[in-house]
Structure 1
Amino acid sequence: MVAKGFIVDLNKPLVFQFLTRTHWWLIPLIWLPVVGWFLSRAISMGQTIPQVALMAALGIFLWTLVEYSLHRFLFHIKTKSYWGNTLHYLLHGCHHKHPMDGLRLVFPPAATAVLIFPFLNLIKLFSTPSATPALFGGGLLGYVMYDVTHYYVHHGQPVSETVKSLKKYHLNHHFRVHDKGFGITSSLWDKVFGTLPPKMAEKKSR
């Protein structure tokens, strides 16, 4: 990988290759039990099942904004230094360089385990103690849905028109317009923040 005079060669350090390669099925296998634990924790703290379901749905919705923000502002950040380029390559650059590599389509669990703590603490700032587990569990479920959806739009063969459109939308981001279309599970926040790909934006304005 070459970027503004800095060469990032990640073919030799095997540890870098290991850190960027993950089987998609590890995501639900590892994180769905954690989701279940947080939701059951909310119930044990006095929340009713309908309340937990509502807060989990809100958590999923909040995740879609996190998903968009991470993809736009972190994964597509402009870097200039060697280590900046290296970190960017590990986070997302390797995926754009090898978009059909089935082992580079989901986030490594070890990295996720580190990142979830700031999000949990952020939720605690505006949520009650008994609501926090449900909101966080919903957000984590949203993340699982995001990662498996991301894998599917690259390697699945969708039948429904909705999923076909989602696949086309994301592959357009990869192969045509890299600086637009940051949503993975939906185009909602691209519409809100004006980052729809040009042709879609034209259709919307008509």
Structure 2
Amino acid sequence: MVAQEYTVDLDKPLVFQVGHLGERYQEWVHQPIVSKEGPRFFSNGFIEFLTRTKWYAVPLIWLPVVCWCFSRALQMGHTITELSCMAVFGMFIWTLLEYSLHRFLFHIKTESYWANTAHYLLHGCHHKHPMDALRLVFPPAATAILLFSFWNLVKMFATPSTTPGLFGGGLLGYVMYDCTHYYLHHGQPSSNPAKHLKTYHLNHHFRIQNMGFGITSSFWDIMFGTLPPSLKKKSI
């Protein structure tokens, strides 16, 4: 079947369909379906289960790891003040990583079958079904794989005693990011800065999808010129 003629059947598992859209995939995936009921991804029940994650799994699983990292840094001789500095710096680095991943990886342009399929699994599904509560935060199994790489990356630039503190700060930043992201979609903030952040993020989903890549802050959008024009006066 010619790619331009392919039609996705929303009543069937989606993952192995979307690749057939070819160059039309980008247009299709950025036309959101606002429904709290998420689509089925795979026909296999176990694999399907692995794609669904409750938001509270993120702090429940990863905050104990953050605590272990911080306690490890203290055991290796660092003071509370030194640990606080490492944690803050780690969180700051996470905000840059959050922005960079969202802008350059999550919004990469794809056309081929497998590239479209991978993009849909990584981020496209969130734009197509932005209110799907069970596919909003990152699955813990996938997070663990990425954290292994991040730990080794930190080890390349930090000393053995500062690695746990910096890594723990970055991981804490990730937990705050994923919980904030969920709240921006499903919470009803009544005051700033949360109210502004919700408007800012929904603007990214429903109005200007190639700008406004920050989730927990618009700082890096301001720094790199991707702040949506209509929100420049309201930025934080």
Tell me what 1:66 maps to: 97
Within 5 Å, give how 1:134-149 maps onto structure 2: 134-149=165-180
Of the candidates 112, 129, 136, which is equivalent to residue 143 of structure 2? 112
8 Å contact kept, 1:16–1:90: no
The change in CA–CA distance for 1:172 and 1:109 in structure 2 (over 3 A counts) is same
Tell me what 1:158 maps to: 189
Q: CA offsets, 1:19-68, max 9 Å, x none?
A: 43210000000000000001101111111111111100110111000000
TM-score by length of 2: 0.81
Q: Which entry has the higher C-alpha Rg, 1 or 2? A: 2
Q: CA RMSD in A?
A: 2.0
Tell me what 1:33 maps to: 64
8 Å contact kept, 2:22–2:111: yes
Q: CA offsets, 1:59-118, max 9 Å, x none?
A: 011100000011011111111221111111111011111101111110000000000122
Tell me what 1:50 maps to: 81
Unaligned 5+ segments in structure 1 are none
Amino acid at match of 1:27: V
The change in CA–CA distance for 1:5 and 1:97 in structure 2 (over 3 A counts) is closer
8 Å contact kept, 1:60–1:142: yes
Tell me what 1:4 maps to: 23
Unaligned 5+ segments in structure 2 are 1-17, 30-39
Please give the alpha-carbon distance, in whole angstroms, between the structure 2 residues aligned to 1:17 and 1:97.
17
Of the candidates 62, 73, 78, which is equivalent to residue 109 of structure 2? 78
Please give the alpha-carbon distance, in whole angstroms, between the structure 1 residues aligned to 2:184 and 2:22.
28
Please give the alpha-carbon distance, in whole angstroms, between the structure 1 residues aligned to 2:52 and 2:152.
28
Amino acid at match of 1:71: H
Amino acid at match of 2:186: H
TM-score by length of 1: 0.92
Please give the alpha-carbon distance, in whole angstroms, between the structure 2 residues aligned to 1:145 and 1:199.
26
Amino acid at match of 2:127: H
Of the candidates 116, 132, 148, which is equivalent to residue 101 of structure 1? 132
Deviation of 1:5 after TM superposition, in Å, equals 6.1
The change in CA–CA distance for 1:5 and 1:149 in structure 2 (over 3 A counts) is closer
Deviation of 1:10 after TM superposition, in Å, equals 3.7
In structure 1, the residue corresponding to 2:132 is in which secondary structure?
coil
Tell me what 1:199 maps to: 230
In structure 2, the residue corresponding to 1:161 is in which secondary structure?
coil
Tell me what 1:123 maps to: 154
The change in CA–CA distance for 1:85 and 1:16 in structure 2 (over 3 A counts) is farther
Deviation of 1:162 after TM superposition, in Å, equals 1.0
Give the share of equivalent positions with the same residue, in percent. Answer: 67
Tell me what 2:207 maps to: 176
